[in-house]
Amino acid sequence: MGTKTNPGNYFEDFQLGQVIRHATPRTVRSGDVSLYIALYGSRFILASSDAFAQGIGFPTAPVDDLLAFHVVFGKTVPDISLNAIANLGYADGRFHRPVYTGDTLSTTSEVIGLKENSNGKTGVVYVRSTGINQRGETVLDYVRWVMVRKQNEASPAPTTVVPELPEAVAVDQLIVPEGLDLTGYDDVAAGSPHRWEDYEVGEKIDHVDGMTIEEAEHATATRLYQNTAKVHFNQHTEKDGRFGRRLMYGGHIISVARALSFNGLANACLIVAINGGRHVAPTFAGDTIYAWSEVIERYEIPDRKDLGALRLRTLAVKDASCESFPYKDQNGDDEAGVVLDFDYTVLIPRHG
């Protein structure tokens, strides 16, 4: 007797060049925005205030960049990572245009790389996922790679193709939203006097605050994005898994770290690129997340005196304040407590 349920794709089901149109387009509502703030407490001004957004060239407050990212990402899970062991990394992500409440987002993914692991039991799938709105306009795209189980270990390995990906999105590839003008940017309303010129390459910022994650919060967040990954929801099965309990969705930690980064980077008002990222270690309910950021690069935007860009590396750590955190660098091999290493580019006002 046949089945009508979706078991998800296994490694051998993916083919290079395969294009997957993901189900369930999602209209973003004001309730989603409110719930996102309830989950993370994000205070970035642009997604918080219609009046502020209108004062710098937007028709109304756009949806938080990461809320849009998570909705687009969530569409891909039933087809790409339902049978994943781990989401390994992100690269070459760009935010093309703002998302507003009332916009309907849908996602398509293309398989751009495949590599079977030496154990013959799993493989890595590279996909570029593209989110579009109801007008067919691209709102964001990014590459991620996922370790996926094989259903049949005897199935032959595909030809290995690992895509070449840039270390970071080049400054000439960054997209400044149409109409954006930070000339009248209000530091007091935004919560910080620190602008582009005030940050130095190599500077490290301890974001001070910590946030303890509750089971209900991460489960609610993952459902909000319609992310169906089993490891986030089903304690009945996960009690027999690797960790004996449900895992946090890695994107939940990205949003926690971004919200915490307000204290020190309040004027980093728009994310324009995801250069890279990896979930270094799992997180669970009860963990307390802290974060610090390093300024990797400072970009001038051609023909713009009102804004510049910062390339940031934000690290999230658990159960250890960043004031005394012993993280060195990747060559130092001291990553105890690090759960997220996220490299992204933001727009920030200049002094003029």
Chain segment 278-306, per-residue pLDDT in tens:
998 889 999 999 999 999 999 999 999 99
Bigger pLDDT: 329 or 182?
182
Q: Is 70 exceeded by the pLDDT of residue 1?
A: no
Percent of the chain scoring above 70 in pLDDT: 96
Indicate if 168-352 has the same CATH topology as 7-28+63-165: yes
Q: Is 90 exceeded by the pLDDT of residue 90?
A: yes
pLDDT band at 3 (very low <50, low <70, confident <90, very high): confident
pLDDT at 245: 83
Q: What is the pLDDT of residues 204-233, one digit of tens each?
A: 999 999 999 999 998 999 999 998 887 787
Q: Is 70 exceeded by the pLDDT of residue 13?
A: yes
pLDDT at 329: 54
Radius of gyration of the chain (CA): 20
Q: What is the pLDDT of residues 29-80, one digit of tens each?
A: 999 999 999 999 999 999 999 999 999 999 999 999 999 999 999 999 999 9
Mean pLDDT across 239-244: 83
Please determine, looking at this structure, whether the domain spanning 168-352 carries the CATH number 3.40.50.720: no
Average pLDDT value over all residues in the chain:
93
Return the minimum-mean-pLDDT range out of 18-22, 53-57, 99-103, 233-237: 233-237
Domain map (residue ranges) of the chain? 7-28+63-165, 168-352
Kindly report the CATH number that applies to the domain delimited by 7-28+63-165: 3.10.129.10
Model pTM score: 0.95
